[in-house]
Structure 1
Amino acid sequence: MNTRTLSLLDGWLVEAQRGLDTVFGNPPAHRANPAGDTPDVALEPDEQRHAAGLMRINHVGEVCAQGLYFGQAAVARDGATRAHLLDAAQEETDHLAWCADRLRELDSRPSLFNPLWYAGSYALGALAGLRGDGWSLGFVVETERQVEAHLDEHLETLPPADLRSREILTVMKADEARHADHAQQAGARTLPAPIPTLMAGASKLMKAVAYRL
């Protein structure tokens, strides 16, 4: 079967649709929610607000991950690198859906700034990709390692009774570690200073805003 070659306009439309689906849509997960049949225990009001704030941060992180991966894939020079990025993006879509589900269960909502988070992440991903596939994969490694660290923090500070959020974050953490390992094996280059420090600073700002808004 012949397939049509996408024009430049087609490519822009595909990227725009991905952004709209991520920010305003409700993309379905391809895997079952890890929380499964885990009981949804009633939390104290303060605990529920805290759990919702943490899950909103994680939802924002997945919006950013989509932007980064799609931005990087759009300019990837090697087909294998592009496939690696899009495969990882699919798993991040699962995370996005799981976090959205949990926010609804906690009677909360995603961040009001999701369009901004996505646009900024997409631009960063494209810039990293334009430096070359090795640098792009290095960006993946550093991003995922930092995400692992903040997921560890969230697992420590979640209300003990919030087992559903804990199940979701545990699987997410394992996925992020695997993404970083695969990117390393695919030829990632180590990012020079001060890029990791700047990335950590930007992440800290995002988390402070997303926790409340």
Structure 2
Amino acid sequence: MTRQFSFLDQALIGADRGLKTLIKGSAKAARAMPQAKPSQADGTAAARQSEAQRRHTAGLMRINHTGEVCAQALYQGQALTAKSAQVREAMAQSAIEEVDHLAWCETRLKELGAHTSHLNPLFYAASFTIGAVAGAIGDSVSLGFVAATEDQVCEHLKEHLAALPKEDEKTRVVLSQMLEDEAEHASKAMSAGGLAFPLPVKKVMTLMSKVMTKTTYHV
């Protein structure tokens, strides 16, 4: 039988997951980080990358890492206020699956000698609030918000894949797997009864995401 948690229990669990999201090194992936073929990830290919290219890749991965921080916060906020137990469980499961991405991005940033964004706590707080509000409005809105958000993440990942230096297969295989997972999450949310958001709402979400990408690329 599935254990029923009180609102306080859920809040404490969410706080614990929030700390694990924001504290460096706390995220532990359940799946192994995708690896490029040895012939593609050898030292020669890495050596061909200029310092400017490495900084650019690090900036892209910092954006992706913050995106995963926001995803964790969004799911935790939605799980806290979701109307049905089924949706709460779905949000909690999605958050667990996204931990892989969080850990992979952090690992790749370390390999590039770069840091995660200093703005992550602010984006976590904002995303948690948005998720909690969406969950309180209703499950269809909450699920629709997940789908719309994941669609935007997929677009960012496609852009980043196109912008990567061709020699950087180590980053490419990670982003490719993330893209596949995010597309699946969006599809599942809509299949579960998510509301299709109108274009004006999606445009506002796009503008908000641009604020995140522009700031976290450098900071």
Same fold (TM over 0.5): yes
Q: Among 91, 97, 100, which residue is 1:85 paired with?
A: 91
Match of 1:163 among 161, 169, 172: 169
Which consecutive residues of structure 2, in runs of 5 or more, have no partner in the other structure?
Answer: none
Aligned counterparts, 1:43-54, within 5 A: 43-54=49-60
Q: 1:120 aligns with which of 103, 121, 126?
A: 126
Equivalent residue, structure 1, for 2:70: 64
SS state of the match for residue 217, structure 2?
helix
Q: How far apart are residue 205 of structure 1 and its match?
A: 0.8
**Which deviates further from its counterpart, 83-92 or 164-173?**
83-92
The one-letter amino acid of 1:183's match is: A
Give 1:31's aligned amino acid: R
Deviations 1:51-91 (A, max 9, x none): 00000000000000000011111111112211211111111
**Structure 1: 5+ residue stretches without partners:** none
- Matched residues in 1 for 2:2 and 2:158: separation? 47
Aligned pair count? Answer: 212
TM-score normalised over the length of structure 2: 0.91
TM-score normalised by L of structure 1 = 0.94
The equivalent position to 1:186 in structure 2, one of 189, 192, 217, is: 192
The answer as to 2:205 corresponding to 1:199 is: yes
Q: In 2, Cα distance between the equivalents of 1:13 and 1:169?
A: 32
Task: Provide the residue aligned with 1:152 in structure 2.
Answer: 158
State the alpha-carbon separation in 2 of the partners of residues 97 and 6 from structure 1.
27
Q: 1-side partners of 2:23 and 2:37: how far apart?
A: 28
Task: Tell whether the 8 Å contact from 2:134 to 2:142 is kept in structure 1 after alignment.
Answer: yes
In 2: Cα distance, 1:134 partner to 1:104 partner: 38
Identity, % of aligned pairs?
Answer: 47
Q: Please say if residues 59 and 217 of structure 2, whose CA atoms lie closer than 8 Å, have aligned partners that are also in contact.
A: yes
| Structure 1 residues 37 and 193: CA distance shift in structure 2, 3 A | closer
- Could you say which residue in structure 1 is the equivalent of 2:32? 32
**Range moving further from structure 2, 59-68 or 16-25:** 16-25
Match of 1:102 in 2: 108
8 Å contact from structure 2 (residues 11, 80) kept in 1: no
Alignment partners' CA distance in 1, 2:126 and 2:105: 21
- Tell me by how many angstroms 1:9 deviates: 3.7
Moved over 6 A (4+): none
Distance 1:75 1:8 in 2: 9
Q: Distance in 2 between matches of 1:177 and 1:27?
A: 22
